[in-house]
Amino acid sequence: MLALDEARARILGALSPTPAETVALPEAWGRVLARPVLARLTQPPADVSAMDGYALRAAEARPGARLRVIGAAPAGRPFGTALGPGEAVRIFTGGVVPDGADAILIQEDAEEAGGLVTPREAPAQGRWIRRRGLDFAAGDTLLPEGRRLSARDIGLAAAANHPWLTVRRRPRIGILATGDEIALPGEPIPAGGIVSSNAHALAAMVRAAGAEPINLPIAPDDRDAIAAAAAAAHAADMLVTTGGASVGEHDLVQAALGPQGFALDFWKIAMRPGKPLIWGRLGRTPVLGLPGNPVSALVCAVQFLLPAIWVLSGLPPAAPPTQPVRAGAPLPANDRRFDHLRASLGTDRDSRFVATPFPVQDSSMMATLARAEALILRPPFAPALAEGAEVEAILLDRLGV
Amino acid sequence: MLALDEARARILGALSPTPAETVALPEAWGRVLARPVLARLTQPPADVSAMDGYALRAAEARPGARLRVIGAAPAGRPFGTALGPGEAVRIFTGGVVPDGADAILIQEDAEEAGGLVTPREAPAQGRWIRRRGLDFAAGDTLLPEGRRLSARDIGLAAAANHPWLTVRRRPRIGILATGDEIALPGEPIPAGGIVSSNAHALAAMVRAAGAEPINLPIAPDDRDAIAAAAAAAHAADMLVTTGGASVGEHDLVQAALGPQGFALDFWKIAMRPGKPLIWGRLGRTPVLGLPGNPVSALVCAVQFLLPAIWVLSGLPPAAPPTQPVRAGAPLPANDRRFDHLRASLGTDRDSRFVATPFPVQDSSMMATLARAEALILRPPFAPALAEGAEVEAILLDRLGV
């Protein structure tokens, strides 16, 4: 059996980022930069005021002095003339500091009457002036290649005068559910059958990770049907199958794909739930075969599919982020399989997360899975832990999963 | 000056969720349920096998016994006949347990030859059988009204046979940037002007929160233009303005909207950055006026706009989630304003978050803001803290901000 980390490393090592595309700035949120964003201008473009008040010479702004207000410099409308002796200019936040001025008297410290302004407090030289280039200078690298763009980054790219950004194309993930026994929601259900849930949960996960799902028609347990459906996935950056990955004789995904020149591996991974996994390549398309049990499929998707989408999106290889939590119940010692306990999440008196595993961990239970807010991680041979001990957990809501 | 929490409570108290709409299941990820999801069927619909193996009577399955294999029960194809004495049925995960069988012998514990199966280990009665309704029963409330749908929830709703879900309409948020000095990225920049960044950052935040931004044309600093643009926002569930909320004479948003029968409040909030805020109603549309400074606008949007979108989306009123972190530098005592220190985020040797405030906290600095991963929260009159002390912080990446 393969260790979980080793399986993930082999999957991620086989993947490359999607090609670049150019998108309009508002479409770039959450996307990963394929080229760095350089400042196209200097910000602020000149020395500007940080406050509403009066631009003047600090040396002349003694309390009680009377300075002549010769004009105004609102943001966007610079006052064109230099200040002479004894003069001041009304200025507003973002307004360009006129030549000759070296400080801003904030309006709370000023009295204006009859075209004259009188300081109540003397401003220090340079006070309340934002220097040209304080934020950034033309040519500065503001956002590096490989960065996933936050809302703040979008604002920064806008401020740096970029109407377009070059990002990685959203990975297209083909999703293929297999099995005679499954039907789409709302469609006739075969005798003894169930409604397909994995493909929909996986499609939502793919969206949550910023990729684009392609939901392929359900393939019955028949070699030709599976192979035909898989062929339809050639346009995808990755094909994900669900079902057909266990060792039973009805598990045909492997058998159907293998003989057609597809390089497929079958792995048993030392993890619970979800040990059987198919991994390989269909032409140039990577194929990830997940188990059919809903919980197994989800846990494998969190551990392998999400990181795979991140790499396809242009992000570095990484495991899903974890959070230290306190165990809400004693945890038994673990065997050789990396375990993922479905758990509810609360907080203790010190506002620390407490994750409490559900008593039944059956891998067919969707309702329990939906209630689970965390997966408590139990590495191979982890020792027994008392209630309250610290363990690592994956918080599912944080991943949109 | 109004306290931050009080301002947020007044804003959230004035908002109601958007009306419901029906969407196809795959569109429902991240949306908030307007009606609960009830199970339309029982899952599993019959007793099914949890493993690949043989369905048989536990009492007959002594090690060394030879049972006749009379057929197979794959998932989706129930074996129609009841088991007689000395008989077994080949069964696969999810296959219906035939009448007469009361245990599953897993295939790892079985030897089959010549149509006969021999147990190597005796299974206990009921072993490896998932009982009818183990996951859920028809009529069970699986997902309550008001729940934001995770990928797991989408899977559960599918399993419960729902092709459609009734959710809250995405809130539509009109965004109005004001100011003579601002230009859209890539367009000619007026002398002394800057490129509009707030509207784009806010639009991305609106998307991150699951709502739909409407970017209104930039309004110059002119009463009629502002009022006309604002009127265009009547189709929005909320109008957000940026700029024009400070006390200077060029701050016209308030003046332009006030006389037209709009109920507007002007608040000074005891917070930093971002103290001036406009709040009110334009006809039936709530109006939130944010400061013009990028950092002030963002911090106010995190504290007021995101929670407002959550309430409009059908979620309960709440402050943005915080995380305890260690201070990466000594923090001075705070004054009467609730402060938000822009900080980088790392981890210490115990994998705990360490947030280190940037030395310059100027509210015009977009590049610093983009680098900031956390806002360290300093409530009014918070005492000085040593490096390493625990403080609450808002982690911006977690909000997609």
DSSP state of B319: P
For residue B65, is it within any domain? yes
**A106 part of a folded domain:** yes
Is B302 in the same domain as B192?
A: yes
Whether residue B97 contacts residue B57, with contact meaning beta carbons closer than 8 Å, is answered with no
At B379 the three-state DSSP class reads coil
Task: Sort out which chain B residues have CB atoms less than 8 A from A161's CB and list them.
Answer: 185-186, 189, 195
Compute the mean pLDDT over every residue in chain B, rounded to the nearest whole number: 91
Question: How many Å is the Cα radius of gyration of chain B?
Answer: 31
Check CB contact of B354 with chain A, cutoff 8 Å. no
pLDDT at B38: 98
The SS3 call for residue B264 is: strand
| Contact between residue A245 and residue A206 where contact means Cβ atoms under 8 Å apart | no
Res B53: pLDDT: 95
Measure Cα distances from A229 to A218, A233, A248, A288, B308 in Å. 8, 7, 21, 15, 45
Same domain, A158 and A262: no
When pLDDT is cut at 50, 70 and 90, the band that residue B254 belongs to is low
How far does A121 lie from chain B, in Å, by closest CA?
20
Q: Identify the CA nearest to A230 among candidates A243, A219, A246.
A: A219
Chain B, 376 to 395: residues with Cβ < 8 Å from chain A are: none
Pick the more confident residue, B86 or B192.
Answer: B86
Å from B154 to nearest chain A CA?
A: 5
Which residues touch A143 (CB under 8 Å, ≥6 apart)? A33, A36, A37, A149, A153, A156, A157, B370
**Separation of alpha carbons B159 and B147, rounded Å:** 17
- A375, A394 Cβ separation under 8 angstroms: yes
**A351 pLDDT more than 90:** no
Strand partners, B225: none
| Contact assignment for A152 to B189 by CB distance below 8 Å | no
Q: Are A202 and A74 within one domain?
A: no
Instruction: Pick the range with the lowest mean pLDDT from A30-44, B237-251, B315-329.
Output: B237-251
Q: Is residue A399 part of a domain?
A: no
The predicted model gives B33-37 an average pLDDT of 98
Residues of A in contact with B295 (CB under 8 A): none
**CATH number for position B112:** 2.170.190.11
DSSP assignment letter at B303: I
* Residue B118 CB neighbours (<10 A): 17
The H-assigned helical ranges of B315-390 are 366-371
Residue of A104, A150, A275, A360 best to disrupt the B interface, most CBs of B under 10 A: A150
Q: Is B213 close to A94, i.e. CB distance below 8 A?
A: no
User: By mean pLDDT, which of A67-71, A215-219, A248-252, A307-311 is the weakest?
Assistant: A248-252
Q: Please compute the mean of the pLDDT values over residues B4-26 and round it to a whole number.
A: 96
Between positions 170 and 199 of B, the ones with CB within 8 A of A are 179-182, 184-187, 189-199
* Chain A residue at shortest CA distance from B39: A367
User: What pLDDT is attached to residue A333?
Assistant: 97
CB pairs under 8 A between A and B: 310
Q: Does A263 touch chain B (CB under 8 A)?
A: no
Q: Which chain B residues are within 8 Å of A292, Cβ to Cβ?
A: 75, 93-94
What was the pLDDT predicted at A253? 67
Note whether B370 and A43 are within 8 A (CB). Answer: no
Q: What share of chain A is helix, strand, coil (3-state, %, to 5)?
A: 25, 30, 45
- Comparing A212-221, A336-345, A368-377, A388-397, which segment has the lowest mean pLDDT? A212-221
Q: What does the block give as tokens for A108?
A: 């709370």
pLDDT at A161 over 60: yes
- Nearest CB neighbour to A400, from listed B151, B158, B200: B151
A74/B189 CB distance under 8 A: no
- Nearest-CA distance from B232 to chain A in Å? 20
Confidence class of residue A249 from pLDDT cuts 50, 70 and 90?
very low
**Phi, psi dihedral angles at A198 (to 5 degrees):** -60, -45
Task: Tell me which of A234 and B148 has the higher pLDDT.
Answer: B148
Q: CA of B190, closest CA in chain A: separation in Å? A: 7
Residue A157: pLDDT over 80: yes
Distance CA B366, CA B294 (A): 7
Average pLDDT of the residues in B231-248: 77
The segment with the largest mean pLDDT, out of A22-36, A179-193, A212-226, B237-251, is A22-36
CA dist A145 and A80 (Å) reads 40
pLDDT recorded at residue A198: 93
Instruction: Pick from B41, B302, B366 the residue to mutate for testing the A interface (most A CBs within 10 Å).
Output: B366
Asked if residue A355 and residue A288 are part of one domain, the reply reads no
How many domains is chain A partitioned into structurally? Answer: 4
Mean pLDDT, rounded, for A166-194? 89
What does the pLDDT look like over B269-317, one tens digit per residue? Answer: 999 998 778 888 888 889 898 988 889 999 999 999 999 999 999 999 9
User: Which residue is it, tokens 């559960």?
Assistant: B156
Provide mean pLDDT across the span B70-97: 91
**Do residues A354 and A318 touch, judged by C-beta distance below 8 A?**
no
CB B221 within 8 A of CB B229: no
* Nearest-angstrom CA–CA distance, A336 and B271: 53
Nearest to B185 among A152, A161, A181 (CB): A161
Out of B74, B158, B180, the one facing A77 most closely (by C-beta) is B180
Helix (H, G, I), strand (E, B), or coil: what is residue B163? Answer: coil
Q: What are the pLDDT digits (tens) for B43-69?
A: 998 999 998 999 999 999 999 899 999
Question: B273: cis peptide before it, omega within 30°?
Answer: yes
Instruction: Please tell me whether residues B218 and B277 are part of one structural domain.
Output: yes
Same domain, A175 and A274: yes
Q: Which of residues 277-296 of B touch A (CB under 8 A)?
A: 292-294
Instruction: Report yes or no: A289 and A281 within 8 Å, Cβ to Cβ.
Output: no
Question: Regarding predicted confidence, which is higher, B351 or B196?
Answer: B196
d(CA B296, CA A26): 21
Q: What is the CATH number of the domain that holds B259?
A: 3.40.980.10
Check if the beta carbon of residue A386 is closer than 8 Å to that of residue A330: yes
Record: contact A367-B135, CB cut-off 8 A: yes
Tell me the mean pLDDT in the region A186-209.
90
- Are residues B29 and B72 located together in one domain of the fold? no
pLDDT above 90 for A278: no
User: Can you tell me the distance from the alpha carbon of A202 to that of A186, in angstroms, rounded to the nearest whole number?
Assistant: 19
Collect all residues of chain B within an 8 Å Cβ-Cβ radius of residue A193.
75-76
Q: What is the CATH number of the domain that holds A31?
A: 3.90.105.10
Q: Which strand (E) or helix (H) includes residue A359?
A: none
B31: distance to nearest CA of chain A, Å? 11
Residues A267 and B118: their CA atoms lie apart, in Å, by 28
Contacts of B149 in chain A (CB under 8 A): 204
Quick: pLDDT tens for A47-67. 999 989 999 999 999 998 999
Please tell me whether residues A218 and A292 are part of one structural domain.
yes
Dihedrals φ, ψ of A65, to 5°? -65, 155
Q: Give me the mean pLDDT over the A19-29 stretch.
A: 97
Tokens of A124: 């220090």
d(CA B209, CA A150): 12
Mark yes or no for CB contact B204/A397 under 8 Å: no
Are the C-beta atoms of A399 and A306 separated by less than 8 Å?
yes
Task: Say which CATH number the domain at B376 has.
Answer: 2.40.340.10
A26 and A163 fall within a common domain:
yes
Residue type, A254: Q
Is A318 within a domain? no
Under the banding of pLDDT at 50, 70 and 90, the label for residue A250 is: very low
Residue B332 lies in a domain: yes
Distance from CA of residue B55 to its chain's centroid?
Answer: 44
Cβ within 8 Å, pair B159-A195: yes
**What band does A252 get if pLDDT is binned at 50, 70 and 90?**
low
Q: What would the pLDDT profile of B146-174 be if each residue is shown by its tens digit? A: 999 999 999 999 999 999 999 999 999 99
Distances (CA, A) of B55 to A251, A252, A344, B21, B382: 19, 22, 34, 47, 67
Same domain, B156 and B38: yes
Q: In the prediction, which pLDDT does B383 show?
A: 97
Least Cα distance to A91 among A109, A110, A104 occurs for A104
* Residue B279 included in any domain: yes
Q: What is the percent of chain A with per-residue pLDDT over 90, rounded to a whole number? A: 71
For residue B253, the model assigns a pLDDT of 67
CA separation for the pair B175, B206 (Å, rounded): 10
Task: Assess B136–A contact: CB distance below 8 Å, yes or no.
Answer: yes
> Phi/psi at B375 (nearest 5 deg)?
-110, 115
Q: Are residues B25 and B59 in the same domain?
A: no
Let me know whether A91 and A216 are in one domain: no
Q: Is residue A137 part of a domain?
A: no
Q: Please report how many Cα atoms fall inside a 13 Å half-sphere around the Cα of residue B187, on the Cβ side.
A: 13
Binary contact (B156, A46; C-beta < 8 A): no
Q: Which of A226-240, A336-350, A383-397 has the lowest mean pLDDT?
A: A226-240
Rounded to the nearest angstrom, the minimum Cα separation between B394 and chain A is 14
d(CA A401, CA A206): 9
Q: Tell me the residue range of the domain where B160 lies.
A: 20-43+143-168
- The reply to whether A398 falls in a domain is no
